[in-house]
Amino acid sequence: MGLGVDGIPIDDINIIVQLKRGWQFAINEKMPLDLNFEKKLNKIVARDTAAFPGYLRNGSGGVETYQGEFEPPMIEEGQEQKYLKQLLASDSTVTDKALTLMYHNMRQ
């Protein structure tokens, strides 16, 4: 296992670099926020950590929570597009929309 700056593993440094690149993409890209934008952002951020970066999850697998095992439902692209459109059209504040989308995506 290679080590980088101050004993930080190279894999951790690479994750930070990809998060930085994702942030740069998100603030500099002029395309509207839609599912394709989210996929492109995911392709950058999850390049080194996801099995299929840039694609919606299509496999099963759960995570252990304090309430027990949680397995998110399968993702249906049409439903995700509808969810995003409804969220963006809602009367919520921009901050609330951003947080709601972040938590939705993390749970999915």
Give the per-residue pLDDT at 2. Answer: 59
Q: How many CB atoms lie within 10 A of CB 104?
A: 13
What are 41-99's pLDDT values in tens digits?
999 999 998 888 999 888 777 888 888 888 888 889 999 999 999 999 999 999 999 99
How many angstroms separate the CA atoms of 60 and 90, rounded?
31
The half-sphere exposure of 92 on its side-chain side, counting CA atoms within 13 A, is 15
Cβ atoms of 10 and 4 within 8 Å: the answer is: yes
Closest by CA to 22, choosing from 41, 35, 40, 38, is: 41
Q: How many CB atoms lie within 10 A of CB 15?
A: 16
User: Mean pLDDT throughout 22-35?
Assistant: 95
